[in-house]
């Protein structure tokens, strides 16, 4: 039985939920923001959260580390942190190295939930930069791309003829002030002009977002209960003494 | 706000204004949310009518008010219940109330009403949908309600002295908005409902309508109790009734979690004051008007009935000081409002200073009323990823020296912790080392978080002064939120509230008072340092006043004269 909740309500619950799982303040706020962004933009943020539940429970204390920085290129070891948690930080890192021209490239290793980079890509575009994220999974090359000022990224995949096993858990993020540079990078990625299948159309993302604001979101009751159960970990047992702490 | 135009105004400094005690001394002013709402209702002549008023002889049942604004229609749905006296509580953890209400968009049909009837009385335990904007409840002030109904039924008007003591028939204990329990999210309200697209406008409208219902319910019960002798309440007495409110710690985290919004509210208030100081005429007419207002505020404060000795002393002292200012001005007019404000700042308490500021602003609607539209903003806390560690350290030293000055090695500096109780997630205070739950404390210790972040920045800056904040925040997620806040707030004029909220001596009451002053409430009656009773809309026009000439002068309400109070009895 689904339950209808508002965007604000789910957002607040997700923050408490990640906090209840042991995430630190910067992480739980970012993870909740990424999850709600995906859920309101037809990218099934809650399903991703449920699918990754155990690894998220286990990974609360982990943080990415920077392996190397060479000019505008940075290699990050995500240490198996989900991009739900660190996607926003990676987006900020991508912007940080931008100079007046050229590309900034971040190679992220050992990361989970790579589709969760999409809210970060959207955030980069909202700040007036353009970005491309791409990663490989099984036989497919996935990418998410957004131009400066365009709030809805394009997310798509195409079939690889020679899949590379080593690409698992790796993601590449490219950022630029110039949209043309990013479009050029995208063309290089698909230099064989293989047939592209959208994961979700930008127009559907926008429609989903507007609908979420207008009517709220439908959440499966089991998921709702699970989130609330995790969120309850931040609450303190009530006693007569604690009631005095509220002025009673 | 037009930053360029306002830049030359002599705004008071952040160090002076954002001090917690100062914020706790603020009083309502022209741009407080209740004032703005009532101005809009009266000036735009909203139509507020009964669509349904199905109450039994005891006043229990259902009422629906329809509110037609120039832009749209809202419905205010009231369920009036019987509850046992023993279950009536001001605490948020109560689960039965005399009245439960919701404010909805559009018209409510039978199917919608059935859903609301099944859920609104449950409050936090129910689920409603995005057609609802506010969910609230209120309890009778039993002694007052029964007294008033008894007097009306006996053909008498209630005594003004009694109303001066308790100026309401009902007290609200919560008004939920912002998408809780399935309701419309704030973004929807802001986009779709221009009449409610200001901070707390929908919540204030709901409280105004609770007051309206409480007055009509009292008349209704009296009429049914004694059909041959009952009189309706005199209009002037109705106006002197407000709606009570009990506010606790729940309000405090809101202020600390929305620093951009709070900073904006303060900036608007201070801009209004600066405009008055810079451009307000101060001739004889204005001195006469200020004298009248000072005496009115003085009387208002002296009419407040509170058991809280400290508040009583504060009211008496403030009233005395306001009288001294009035006398002084009568003898010798102020050279300018600036000289008056400076002189009062050097002589009198913060309470008196801030009452005077509210009164000065009251006299110049033409200078300040346009600022009411600036009370809203979209809150966006962004990390500036390119900032270097060196620059970040400088920002903290420049803008948060007040936080760095706190000695956190002293146990008292971290003695208090805030947490959420399992009882309706109510915020509560605990004492570190004594109360359980410290490990689950709410992240409210801004000053401490800044100190920790600063120390880490300084440690890393030695080796990498040009390292970016983005790199720092990636590997130190525990500092990411506070860095976003520091960077965002340092771009504002007033910045954060300057207080250590985990200090042993923290006074949450100041936070509550600050927010309540922006709401526009009066008659503060603290029940401890953690919660306060107060009165909303006392003196405000009634729905029956809509369309009549409107004098926007109901602030600092005082007891009406006995003769005016009896005028209009039976006229409703």
Q: In this structure, are B235 and B275 located in the same domain? A: no
| B433 contacts chain A (CB < 8 A) | no
Q: In this structure, are B402 and B473 located in the same domain? A: yes
How would DSSP label each residue in A60-113?
Answer: TT---EEEEEETTEEEEE-TT-BHHHHHHHHHHHHHHT--SSSEEEEEEES-B-
Q: Which of B253, B386, B421 would you mutate first to test chain A, the one with the most A CBs within 10 A?
A: B421
Cα distances (angstroms) measured from residue B523 to each of A198, B334, B429, B520, B532: 61, 29, 25, 10, 10
Model pLDDT, residue B566: 66
In a domain, B18, yes or no: no
Q: Cβ contact (<8 Å) for A92 and B428?
A: no
In a domain, B526, yes or no: no
Q: In this structure, are B126 and B152 located in the same domain? A: yes
How would DSSP label each residue in B69-111?
Answer: -SS-EEEEEEEE----GGG--SSTT----SEEEEEEES---HH
In a domain, B26, yes or no: no
* Local structure of residue B249 (DSSP, 8 states): T
Q: In this structure, are B363 and B421 located in the same domain? A: no
Beta carbons of B168 and B144 less than 8 angstroms apart: yes
Model pLDDT, residue A10: 98
Place A101 in a pLDDT band, splitting at 50, 70 and 90.
low
Model pLDDT, residue A64: 96
d(CA A24, CA A5): 25
Q: Cβ contact (<8 Å) for A242 and B440?
A: no
Q: What angle do CA B522, B526, B531 make, to 5 degrees?
A: 105
- CB proximity list for A236: less than 8 A, separation 6 or greater: A242, B419, B420, B421, B422, B428, B430, B436, B437, B440
Q: Cβ contact (<8 Å) for A216 and B480?
A: no
For B431, the closest chain A residue by CA position comes to: A245
> To the nearest 10°, the Cα dihedral for B93, B96, B99, B101?
60
| B422 contacts chain A (CB < 8 A) | yes
Model pLDDT, residue B21: 95
Q: In this structure, are B74 and B143 located in the same domain? A: yes
In a domain, B13, yes or no: no
Q: In this structure, are B304 and B219 located in the same domain? A: no
- pLDDT digits 0-9 by tens, B454-496: 999 999 999 999 999 999 999 999 999 999 999 999 999 999 9
In a domain, B340, yes or no: yes
| B179 contacts chain A (CB < 8 A) | yes
| B527 contacts chain A (CB < 8 A) | yes
- pLDDT digits 0-9 by tens, A3-15: 999 999 999 999 9
- CB proximity list for B402: less than 8 A, separation 6 or greater: B15, B447, B498
Is A37 exposed, middle or buried (CB count within 10 Å of its CB: 0-12, 13-18, 19+)? buried
Domain positions in chain A: 2-234
Q: In this structure, are B148 and B123 located in the same domain? A: yes
Q: Which residues on A lie below 8 Å from B90 (Cβ)?
A: none
Q: Which residues on A lie below 8 Å from B192 (Cβ)?
A: 214
Residue linked to tokens 């990424």: A34
Residue A226 pLDDT exceeds 70? yes
Cα distances (angstroms) measured from residue B472 to each of B383, B384, B386, B479: 11, 12, 11, 9
Count of domains forming chain B: 3
Q: In this structure, are B330 and B410 located in the same domain? A: no
Phi, psi values for residue B174, rounded to 5°: -170, 150
Beta carbons of B79 and B97 less than 8 angstroms apart: no
| B526 contacts chain A (CB < 8 A) | no
Q: In this structure, are B86 and B133 located in the same domain? A: yes
Model pLDDT, residue B252: 87
In a domain, B231, yes or no: yes
Residue A144 pLDDT exceeds 80? yes
Comparing CA positions, the residue from A76, A92, A84 lying closest to residue A21 is A84
Q: Copy the structure tokens of residue A79.
A: 């240490």
pLDDT beneath 70: ranges in chain B: 1-8, 564-572
State the smallest CA–CA distance between residue A152 and chain B in angstroms.
18
d(CA B136, CA B176): 6
d(CA B140, CA B88): 8
Q: Which of B126, B424, B480, B525 would you mutate first to test chain A, the one with the most A CBs within 10 A?
A: B480
A35: enclosing H helix or E strand: helix A25-40
Q: In this structure, are B39 and B100 located in the same domain? A: yes
Q: Which residues on B lie below 8 Å from A242 (Cβ)?
A: 421, 428, 430, 435-437
For A213, the closest chain B residue by CA position comes to: B188
Residue linked to tokens 């900032």: B387
**Closest Cβ–Cβ partner in A4, A5, A246 for B426:** A246
Residue linked to tokens 């404000």: B341
d(CA A234, CA B441): 8
Q: In this structure, are B243 and B336 located in the same domain? A: no
Size of interface A-B (CB pairs under 8 A): 162
Is the dihedral angle over the CA atoms B436, B441, B442, B445 positive or is it negative? positive
Span A53-82, average pLDDT: 94
Reported ipTM:
0.95
Q: In this structure, are B228 and B359 located in the same domain? A: no
Q: Which of B90, B93, B130 would you mutate first to test chain A, the one with the most A CBs within 10 A?
A: B130
d(CA A140, CA B200): 49
Averaging pLDDT over each range in A97-101, A177-181, B116-120, B378-382, which range is the top one? B116-120
In a domain, B517, yes or no: no
Domain holding B195, by residue range, is 33-247+536-566
> To the nearest 10°, the Cα dihedral for B500, B506, B507, B510?
0
Q: Copy the structure tokens of residue B30.
A: 């022209």
d(CA B183, CA A6): 6
Span A124-146, average pLDDT: 95
**What is chain B's length?**
572
């Amino acid at each position: 039985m689904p339950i209808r909740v508002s965007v604000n309500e789910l957002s607040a619950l997700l923050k408490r939920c990640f906090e209840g799982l042991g995430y630190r303040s910067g992480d739980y706020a970012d993870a909740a923001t990424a999850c709600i962004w995906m859920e309101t933009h037809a990218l099934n943020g809650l399903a991703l959260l449920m699918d990754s539940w155990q690894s998220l429970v286990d990974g609360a204390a982990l943080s990415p580390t920077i392996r190397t920085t060479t000019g505008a290129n940075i290699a990050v070891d995500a240490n198996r942190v989900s991009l739900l948690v660190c996607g926003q930080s990676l987006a900020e890192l991508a912007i940080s190295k931008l100079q007046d021209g050229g590309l900034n490239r971040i190679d992220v290793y050992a990361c989970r939930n790579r589709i969760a980079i999409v809210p970060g890509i959207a955030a980069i575009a909202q700040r007036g930069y353009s970005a491309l994220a791409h990663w490989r999974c099984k036989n497919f090359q996935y990418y998410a791309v957004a131009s400066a000022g365009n709030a809805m990224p394009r997310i798509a995949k195409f079939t690889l003829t020679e899949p590379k096993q080593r690409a698992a858990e790796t993601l590449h993020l490219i950022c630029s002030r110039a949209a043309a540079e990013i479009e050029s990078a995208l063309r290089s990625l698909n230099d064989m002009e293989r047939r592209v299948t959208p994961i979700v159309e930008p127009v559907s993302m926008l429609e989903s977002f507007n609908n979420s604001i207008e009517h709220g979101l439908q959440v499966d009751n089991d998921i709702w209960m699970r989130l609330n159960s995790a969120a309850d970990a931040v609450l303190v047992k009530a006693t007569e003494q604690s009631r005095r702490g509220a002025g009673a | 706000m037009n930053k360029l135009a306002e830049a030359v105004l002599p705004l008071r400094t952040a160090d002076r204004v954002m001090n917690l005690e100062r914020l706790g001394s603020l009083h309502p002013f022209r741009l407080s949310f209740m004032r703005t709402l009532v101005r809009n209702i009266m000036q735009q002549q909203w139509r507020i009518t009964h669509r349904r008023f199905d109450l039994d002889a005891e006043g229990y049942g259902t009422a629906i008010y329809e509110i037609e604004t120039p832009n749209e229609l809202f419905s205010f749905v009231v369920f009036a219940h019987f509850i046992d006296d023993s279950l009536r509580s001001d605490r948020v953890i109560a689960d039965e109330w005399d009245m439960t209400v919701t404010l909805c968009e559009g018209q409510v049909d039978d199917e919608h009403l059935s859903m609301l009837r099944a859920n609104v009385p449950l409050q936090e335990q129910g689920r409603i949908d995005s057609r609802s904007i506010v969910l609230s409840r209120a309890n009778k002030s039993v002694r007052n309600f029964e007294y008033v109904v008894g007097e009306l039924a006996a053909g008498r008007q209630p005594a003004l002295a009694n109303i001066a003591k308790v100026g309401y028939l009902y007290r609200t204990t919560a008004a939920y908005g912002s998408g809780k329990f399935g309701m419309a999210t704030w973004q929807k309200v802001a986009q779709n409902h221009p009449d409610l697209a200001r901070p707390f406008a929908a919540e204030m409208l709901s409280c105004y309508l609770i007051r309206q219902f409480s007055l009509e319910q009292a008349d209704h019960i009296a009429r049914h109790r004694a059909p041959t002798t009952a009189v309706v309440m005199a209009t002037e007495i109705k106006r002197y009734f407000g709606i009570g409110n009990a506010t606790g710690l729940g309000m405090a985290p809101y202020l600390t979690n929305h620093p951009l919004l709070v900073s904006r509210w303060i900036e608007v208030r201070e801009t209004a004051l600066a405009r008055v100081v810079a451009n307000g005429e101060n001739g004889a007419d204005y001195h006469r008007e200020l004298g009248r207002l000072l005496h009115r505020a003085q009387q208002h404060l002296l009419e407040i009935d509170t058991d809280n000795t400290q508040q009583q002393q504060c009211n008496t002292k403030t009233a005395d000081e306001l009288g001294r200012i009035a006398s002084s001005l009568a003898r010798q007019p102020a050279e300018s409002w600036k000289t008056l404000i400076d002189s009062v700042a050097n002589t009198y308490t913060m309470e008196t200073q801030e009452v005077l500021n509210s009164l000065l602003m009251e006299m110049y609607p033409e200078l300040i009323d346009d600022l009411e539209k600036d009370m809203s903003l979209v809150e966006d806390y962004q990390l500036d990823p390119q900032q270097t560690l060196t620059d970040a350290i400088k920002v903290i030293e420049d803008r948060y020296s007040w936080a760095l000055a706190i000695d956190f090695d002293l146990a008292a500096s971290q003695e208090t912790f805030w947490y959420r109780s399992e009882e309706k997630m109510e915020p509560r205070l605990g004492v570190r080392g004594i109360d359980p739950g410290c490990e689950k404390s709410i992240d409210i210790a801004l000053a401490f978080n800044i100190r920790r972040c600063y120390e880490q920045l300084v440690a890393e800056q030695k080796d990498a002064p040009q390292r970016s904040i983005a790199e720092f925040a990636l590997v130190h997620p525990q500092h990411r939120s506070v860095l976003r806040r520091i960077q965002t707030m340092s771009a504002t004029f007033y910045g954060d509230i300057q207080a250590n909220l985990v200090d042993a001596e923290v006074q949450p009451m100041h936070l509550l008072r600050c927010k309540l002053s922006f709401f526009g409430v009066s008659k503060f009656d603290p029940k401890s340092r953690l919660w306060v009773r107060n009165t909303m809309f006392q003196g405000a026009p009634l729905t029956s006043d809509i369309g009549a000439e409107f004098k926007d002068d109901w602030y600092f309400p005082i007891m009406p004269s006995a003769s005016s109070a009896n005028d209009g009895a039976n006229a409703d």
